[in-house]
């Protein structure tokens, strides 16, 4: 979920892969990878170093397309926020927010639009581009150049595109399969339940499995929460256990804490059990996968955030 704003680093057989849009399972030659109806950034074929990946990738016909002007607008909006409010959200400038805005305004374009009547697609693309140009007068869009590129992408991805809902229905009801849904971002970056407005534009809690894939709730089985042995955050927003000192520096350097997508240093601090419990309230974890415990090896003392106080009193919830 989300889009090419998230970065997952995967190391297999000593080789490192950085994924932004592809499911990590694309490395496994026995796995079928599926990009569902959230967002698709089209230059997929740029992927190198993997054999026959296009034979095991399926793209939902309902996936929204992130256009170049969405990415440009993302950057312009951040500049605007900085100028008006003195602070920005700290987005990855990958066009995710503007694409979700188009989706919610019902002016977005999906893979099914690209692959059907191209004249109709071109007309809607031009209208969308014009809307953004009227909002951001400095925005330059090479409409004809973009359309030519998009037509080329359409033919490259056509063999990979399927009806996503029917694909998932068959996967759930056909011969027994193991289905792993890979989430990106984090519970505290969820558009509804995160530290709004310093969040992403999608639901990165377990509910995203149902809304993103069209999977009925009764099919959601085990839910694994992945949590580091300390807390990190990219970009601005509340962070009560943050250590702006040598502890924070140590966690940052030993843990190689910088964003895969942006290269920005992650802010680091002690493990915050209040937000972990909060994430569990929303997601109902079956189990927790605790990572990076070895980063704490060199510390004589480890601290953990156990409660929040509001008006001098302990509170039993995440405010």
Which of the listed residues 115, 145, 177 is the one where a domain comes to its end? 177
Quick one: which of 44, 45, 50 has its CA closest to 17?
Answer: 50
Same domain assignment for residues 228 and 304? yes
**pLDDT-wise least confident of 87-96, 140-149, 305-314:** 87-96
Which of the listed residues 158, 191, 208 is the one where a domain comes to its end? 158
Q: Which member of 94, 103, 265, 303 is catalytic?
A: 103
Residue 309 known to be catalytic? no
Give a yes or no: residue 201 inside a domain.
no
Q: Does residue 104 register a pLDDT over 70?
A: yes
160 contacts 56 by C-beta, under 8 angstroms? no
Same domain assignment for residues 32 and 164? yes
CATH classification of the domain holding 124:
1.10.300.10
The model's pTM is 0.84
**What is the overall mean pLDDT for the chain?**
89
Q: Which position has the higher pLDDT, 274 or 52? A: 274
58 contacts 35 by C-beta, under 8 angstroms? yes
Task: Give the number of other CB atoms < 10 A from CB of residue 71.
Answer: 19
Same domain assignment for residues 147 and 226? no
Give a yes or no: residue 39 inside a domain.
yes
Same domain assignment for residues 136 and 277? no
Which of the listed residues 120, 147, 177 is the one where a domain comes to its end? 177
Q: Range of 271's domain?
A: 222-315
* CA dist., res. 165 & res. 147, Å (int): 28
Give a yes or no: residue 209 inside a domain.
no
Give a yes or no: residue 215 inside a domain.
no
What pLDDT does 2 receive? 61
What pLDDT does 286 receive? 97
Give a yes or no: residue 167 inside a domain.
yes
Same domain assignment for residues 17 and 91? no
Same domain assignment for residues 151 and 88? yes
Same domain assignment for residues 21 and 73? no
Same domain assignment for residues 238 and 270? yes
Number of alpha helices (DSSP H) and beta strands (DSSP E) in the chain:
9, 14
What pLDDT does 183 receive? 79
The band of 314, judged by pLDDT with boundaries at 50, 70 and 90, is very high
What pLDDT does 15 receive? 86
* CA dist., res. 165 & res. 62, Å (int): 9
Please tell me the total count of domains within the chain: 3
User: pLDDT for 233-272, tens place per residue?
Assistant: 987 888 999 999 999 999 999 999 987 666 778 999 999 9
The band of 87, judged by pLDDT with boundaries at 50, 70 and 90, is low
Beta bridge partners of 60: 162
Q: Does residue 124 register a pLDDT over 70?
A: yes
Same domain assignment for residues 51 and 91? no
Same domain assignment for residues 173 and 43? yes
158 contacts 45 by C-beta, under 8 angstroms? no
What pLDDT does 163 receive? 95
* CA dist., res. 306 & res. 113, Å (int): 50
Give a yes or no: residue 105 inside a domain.
yes
Give a yes or no: residue 93 inside a domain.
yes
Same domain assignment for residues 45 and 152? no
**pLDDT-wise least confident of 64-68, 71-75, 122-126:** 71-75
Same domain assignment for residues 27 and 72? no
User: pLDDT for 3-48, tens place per residue?
Assistant: 666 677 788 888 888 787 788 888 899 999 998 865 555 555 555 5
Q: Does residue 150 register a pLDDT over 80?
A: yes
What pLDDT does 110 receive? 95
Give a yes or no: residue 202 inside a domain.
no
Quick one: which of 212, 175, 178, 206 has its CA closest to 190?
Answer: 206
The band of 218, judged by pLDDT with boundaries at 50, 70 and 90, is very high
């Amino acid at each position: 979920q989300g889009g090419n704003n998230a970065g997952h680093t995967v190391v297999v057989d000593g080789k490192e892969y950085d994924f932004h849009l592809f499911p990590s399972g694309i490395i496994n030659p026995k796995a079928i990878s599926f990009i569902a109806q959230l967002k698709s950034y089209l230059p997929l074929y740029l992927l190198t170093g993997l054999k026959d990946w296009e034979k095991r990738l399926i793209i939902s016909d309902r996936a929204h397309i992130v256009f170049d002007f969405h990415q440009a607008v993302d950057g312009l909006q951040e500049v605007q926020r900085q100028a008006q409010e003195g602070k920005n959200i700290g987005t990855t400038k990958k066009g995710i927010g503007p694409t979700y805005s188009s989706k919610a305004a019902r002016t977005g374009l999906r893979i099914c639009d690209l692959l059907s009547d191209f004249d109709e697609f071109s007309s809607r693309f031009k209208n969308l581009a014009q809307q953004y140009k009227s909002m951001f007068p400095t925005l330059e869009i090479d409409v004809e150049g973009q359309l030519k590129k998009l037509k080329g992408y359409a033919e490259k991805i056509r063999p990979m595109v399927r009806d996503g809902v029917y694909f998932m229905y068959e996967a759930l009801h056909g011969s027994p399969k193991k289905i792993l849904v890979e989430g990106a971002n984090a519970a505290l970056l969820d558009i509804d339940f995160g530290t709004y407005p310093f969040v992403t534009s999608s639901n990165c809690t377990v509910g995203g499995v149902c809304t993103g894939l069209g999977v009925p709730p009764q099919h959601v089985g085990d839910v694994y929460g992945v949590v580091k042995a300390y807390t990190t955050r990219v970009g601005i927003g509340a962070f009560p256990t943050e250590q702006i000192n040598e502890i924070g520096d140590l966690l940052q350097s030993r843990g190689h804490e910088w964003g895969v997508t942006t290269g920005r240093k992650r802010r680091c601090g002690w493990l915050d059990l209040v937000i972990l419990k909060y994430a569990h309230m929303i997601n109902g974890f079956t189990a927790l996968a605790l990572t990076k415990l070895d980063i704490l090896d060199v510390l004589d003392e480890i601290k953990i955030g156990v409660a929040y106080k509001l008006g001098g009193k302990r509170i039993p919830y995440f405010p």
